[in-house]
Amino acid sequence: MSCTTVTETEEQFLTPELKQIEEIRAVSKSKTVSARDLQPIVWRNVAKFALLHLAGLVGLYQAIFYAKWATLLFTFVLFCVSQFGATGGAHRLWSHRSFKAHWPAKVILMYFNTFSFQNDIIEWARDHRCHHKWTDTDADPHNAQRGLFYSHIGWLMVKKHPEVIRRGKTLDISDLTNDPVLKFQRKYYLPMAIFNGFIFTTIVPWYFWGETAFNALYIAGFLRYVASLNVTFCVNSLAHFIGYKPYDLSISPTENIMTSITTMGEGGHNYHHTFPQDYRTSEFGRFANWTTILIDIFAALGWVYDRKTVSNEIIARQIAKHGPNFGHSH
Ligand SMILES: [Zn+2]
Ligand SMILES: [Zn+2]
């Protein structure tokens, strides 16, 4: 099992474009148009999220008082499947190209990803590349400078900022749009996401262990979906507000252990924004990082290869230069 060590920080993929970030900030400051005019509320999305959360609460109530144990276990497994499809697939493989995958891994990750129902991978990865390149500016889809609610879910309830659209178009995403596995997902996205997320999840508990169809739909369907959405959203919200910044004090992303636990390993966010190429998205390899463990299992099976990591020496140099003790050593 070989890992490729990235030796120079210049080799990092999706490092922030510092000059462009300054440019965008200067333009935003000079603008007199309010964000509300630039990004009107999309009421259809507000209603959709409100109803979805209501359905999730019904599912939570049923899960606490009426569900069978097998349904709860099934829901938990499906939650992990949804998460791994987002973290291992959309995020670490396709957004960052932090490891390479043969077709079995690609197909599994794409299939798992449809359970998470967070837009197709091409759209997800494009948004995410914007987030890394222009972090905390108007070109960042979930700009944390706009507050906790906006970066969590608010950004999905308003029109995209014109700067996100404009800058997003300058990104090269041909590696995504030319990928046959992603083309397939895009073509059949809605039927696949609805079938996997809500129909399959209702039929299995009902058919195999006699759960009511209502419980199956609201627990394994809605509750699992709402929980999975919110823990993913926490990477954009909580992990940009609460936690330590050992690797770069000047950026908003933090090390947030709660987010690591709930997302299967995506809470090492100060590290991840500093070293976006590292497939572990954390200095601490497999600790509270089930996504890394699963990718390593895939590697042992020969399905993935060329997992990129950053050497301890570079990490130490980064901490000394840009971490909390920055200034003391000079
Ligand atoms: Zn990322
Ligand atoms: Zn981030």
Maximum distance among all Cα pairs of the chain, rounded to whole angstroms: 68
Q: Which residues contact 205 (CB under 8 A, 6 or more apart)?
A: 68, 70, 71, 74, 211, 215, 216, 220
- Tens of pLDDT, residue by residue over 128-151, are 999 999 999 999 999 999 999 999
Ligand 1 centre distance from Cα of residue 3 (Å) = 19
Ligand 2 centre distance from Cα of residue 45 (Å) = 23
6 forms bridges with which residues in the sheet? 310
Q: Which residues contact 18 (CB under 8 A, 6 or more apart)?
A: none
Helices (H), the chain: 18-30, 35-38, 43-65, 69-84, 103-116, 121-133, 148-152, 162-170, 174-177, 180-187, 189-194, 201-209, 213-215, 224-236, 257-263, 269-274, 290-300, 312-322
CA dihedral 285, 287, 292, 294 (to 10 degrees): 140
Q: Residue ranges of the domains in the chain?
A: 35-322
What's phi and psi for 293, nearest 5 deg? -60, -45
Q: How buried is residue 25: exposed, middle or buried, by Cβ count under 10 Å (0-12/13-18/19+)?
A: middle
Under a CB-based contact definition with an 8 Å cutoff, are residues 249 and 279 in contact?
Answer: no
Ligand 2 centre distance from Cα of residue 91 (Å) = 11
| DSSP per residue, 257-281 | HHHHHHHTS--BHHHHHHSTT-TTS
Counting ligands in written order, which one lies closest to the CA of residue 282? 1
The bridge status of strand 3-6 relative to strand 307-310 is parallel
pLDDT for 12 equals 37
The bridge status of strand 304-305 relative to strand 100-101 is antiparallel
Under a CB-based contact definition with an 8 Å cutoff, are residues 86 and 109 in contact?
Answer: no
The bridge status of strand 3-6 relative to strand 100-101 is unpaired
Report CA-CA distances (Å) from 116 to 221, 246, 287.
11, 31, 23
Angle at 239 between CA 152 and CA 84, to 5 degrees: 80
pLDDT for 13 equals 62
Euclidean distance between CA atoms 285 and 266, whole angstroms: 11
Residues with CB under 5 A from ligand 2 (ion): 253
Angle at 233 between CA 285 and CA 71, to 5 degrees: 85
Ligand 1 centre distance from Cα of residue 87 (Å) = 9
Report CA-CA distances (Å) from 73 to 216, 219, 254, 295.
12, 11, 32, 23
Ligand 2 centre distance from Cα of residue 170 (Å) = 20
Q: What is the mean pLDDT of each run of 10 residues along the chain (330 residues)?
A: 49 70 83 80 97 98 98 98 97 95 98 97 96 94 96 97 93 93 98 98 98 98 98 97 94 94 94 95 89 97 96 94 68
What 8-state DSSP symbol labels residue 159? Answer: P
Ligand 1 centre distance from Cα of residue 26 (Å) = 25
Ligand 1 centre distance from Cα of residue 96 (Å) = 7
Counting ligands in written order, which one lies closest to the CA of residue 95? 1
